[in-house]
Amino acid sequence: MHWHAYHWTGPAAERSREAERRLDSAQFLDSSLPPFRSGDWLARPADQVSETFVDPEEAVDWLAAWYDTYRDRMHHPDRICQQVRVEATLGSLRMGIDCRWEEWLHEGAYMCLVMVCCPHRAANHPCPTGVPARL
């Protein structure tokens, strides 16, 4: 198993363009908006993959680093203790469960950081970057 990282930040109002977030929509592939199902990120073009990891600890480090870059823009950056968030995420990734870190930002913006397991248990999409299922 490996993990693909994705991130999106933008005006929260853009998230209401629901058709672009659904796999069966004609706009889905061209959109950068977060899909409703995290596994559907794998159906998006490979250029939307921010990073790919084979080590879950490196994947969590990526999430934490990106989270920290937005910390000053968040309404409630510490509503979940960072250590608890990191430990829970690491456990989830090791079990093959996707993780989404999402927060409201000041000025009506929204941040979405996602780590998607590949291959995916529930979404039958090929690896967007062509990484073999077993490394």
- 52-60 mean pLDDT: 97
For β-strands 109-118 and 2-11, DSSP reports them as antiparallel
pTM of the model as a whole: 0.93
Give yes or no for a contact between 21 and 32, defined as CB atoms under 8 angstroms apart: no
Residue with tokens 């999430």: 63
What percent of the chain stands above pLDDT 90? 90
- Let me know if 45 is exposed, middle or buried by CB neighbors in 10 A (0-12, 13-18, 19+): exposed
Using pLDDT thresholds of 50, 70 and 90, give the confidence band for residue 133: low
- Give the span between the Cα atoms of 100 and 81, in whole angstroms: 15
- The CB density around residue 88, as the number of other CB atoms within 10 Å, is 15
pLDDT tens track for 36-48? 999 999 999 999 9
Q: Calculate Rg over the CA atoms of the chain.
A: 15
Using pLDDT thresholds of 50, 70 and 90, give the confidence band for residue 132: low
